């Protein structure tokens, strides 16, 4: 349920270490703040990770193997989502991320849960503003495999996330503020992010990403093309700082047109 732009930035900021060998084990605490020009405006994400390197062999394909356990919380003006995850990377070029968590929609800041009648309901600003806001709870499960390739300074990734969720008792429809789309209270979303990046050096990377959201039950398809720039570097022993910016255009969407901009700054602390 996290916005497409936010999810992409979280993955991108992890890229400079994605092909490191061997994997770095132990505890890390990740805190980031994200802002975007549309939708909910701001998000605060906190994650506590425990990484265990896997001794599967020597060489650039096997040495980066790891398993990572995560407890995470995401807070926005509309909802709070908390859960646990496990990320398994048997090879440097592939990992599989599995997440399960709960979500609470609140209305205190004026971005509450909005019930809808069907996938085909009108969703203009006037219609949405007239709907009564409510509070709601739900659960979500996500499975996300990612394929990673690097050839010199060229980095390519393709990530597909399958997200299943039940909210507000599992019946009816609602307006998903984070992805700007009507969803069923029991539904599936498929996210795809494909990246082509250039490692400039000194922690800097830049490139393009093609991002998609697809809802099989309604055939809704959201597609956007972004230019991306990011930096990650150590500022003290055990402390990394990151920053990312992406800007692009909607190529296909029922509700959205024009420019979209999102950014993130974050800290990773390894005690």
Domain ranges of the chain: 4-269
pLDDT digits (tens, 9 = 90+) for 95-117: 999 999 999 999 998 899 999 99
At 133, the pLDDT band (50, 70, 90 cuts) reads very high
Query: What's this model's pTM, rounded to 2 decimal places?
Result: 0.89
At 138, the pLDDT band (50, 70, 90 cuts) reads very high
Q: Give the percent of the chain with pLDDT over 70.
A: 89
CA distance 202 to 222: 34
Please tell me the predicted confidence (pLDDT) of residue 4: 43
Kindly tell me if the per-residue pLDDT of 252 is higher than 90.
Answer: no
CA distance 98 to 12: 18
At 22, the pLDDT band (50, 70, 90 cuts) reads low
The reply to whether omega before 22 is within 30° of 0 (cis) is yes
Please tell me the predicted confidence (pLDDT) of residue 20: 53
The fourth-level CATH superfamily of domain 4-269 is: monomeric porin ompg (2.40.160.40)
Contact 84, 101 (CB under 8 A): yes
Secondary structure of 92-110 in the HEC alphabet? CCEEEEEEEEEEEECCCCC
CA distance 90 to 54: 8
Contact 249, 258 (CB under 8 A): yes
pLDDT digits (tens, 9 = 90+) for 165-197: 999 999 999 999 888 899 999 999 999 999 999
Secondary structure of 1-49 in the HEC alphabet? CCCHHHHHHHHHHCHHHCCCCCCCCEEEEEEEEEEECCCCCEEEEEEEE
User: Which residues, at least 6 apart from 52, have a Cβ–Cβ distance to it below 8 Å?
Assistant: 25, 66, 67, 68
Please tell me the predicted confidence (pLDDT) of residue 21: 54
Phi and psi at residue 7, to the nearest 5°: -60, -40
At 16, the pLDDT band (50, 70, 90 cuts) reads very low
Please tell me the predicted confidence (pLDDT) of residue 42: 82
HSE-up (13 A, CA, CB side) for residue 89: 28
Contact 186, 215 (CB under 8 A): no
């Amino acid at each position: 349920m996290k916005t497409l732009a936010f999810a992409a930035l979280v993955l991108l900021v992890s890229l400079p270490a994605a092909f490191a060998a061997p994997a770095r084990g132990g505890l890390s605490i990740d805190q980031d703040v994200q802002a975007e020009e549309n939708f909910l405006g701001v998000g605060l994400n906190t994650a506590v990770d425990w990484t265990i390197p896997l001794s599967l062999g020597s060489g650039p394909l096997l040495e980066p193997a790891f398993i990572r356990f995560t407890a995470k919380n995401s807070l926005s003006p509309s909802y709070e989502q908390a859960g646990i995850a496990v990320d398994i990377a048997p090879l440097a070029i592939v990992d599989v991320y599995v997440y399960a968590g709960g979500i609470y929609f609140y209305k205190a800041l004026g971005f509450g849960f909005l019930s809808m009648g069907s996938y085909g309901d009108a969703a203009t600003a006037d219609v949405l503003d007239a709907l009564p806001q409510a509070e709601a709870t739900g659960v979500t499960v996500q499975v996300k495999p990612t394929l990673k390739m690097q050839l010199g300074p060229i980095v390519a990734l393709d990530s597909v996330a399958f997200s299943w969720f039940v909210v507000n008792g599992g019946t009816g429809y609602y307006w998903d503020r984070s992805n700007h789309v009507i969803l069923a209270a029991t539904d599936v979303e498929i996210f795809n992010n494909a990246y082509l990046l250039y490692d400039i050096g000194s922690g800097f990377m830049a490139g393009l990403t093609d991002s998609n959201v697809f809802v099989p039950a309604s055939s809704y398809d959201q597609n956007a093309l972004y230019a991306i720039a990011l930096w990650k570097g150590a500022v003290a022993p055990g402390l990394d700082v990151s920053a990312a910016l992406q800007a692009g255009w909607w190529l296909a969407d029922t509700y959205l047109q024009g420019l979209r901009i999102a950014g993130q700054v974050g800290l990773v602390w390894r005690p």
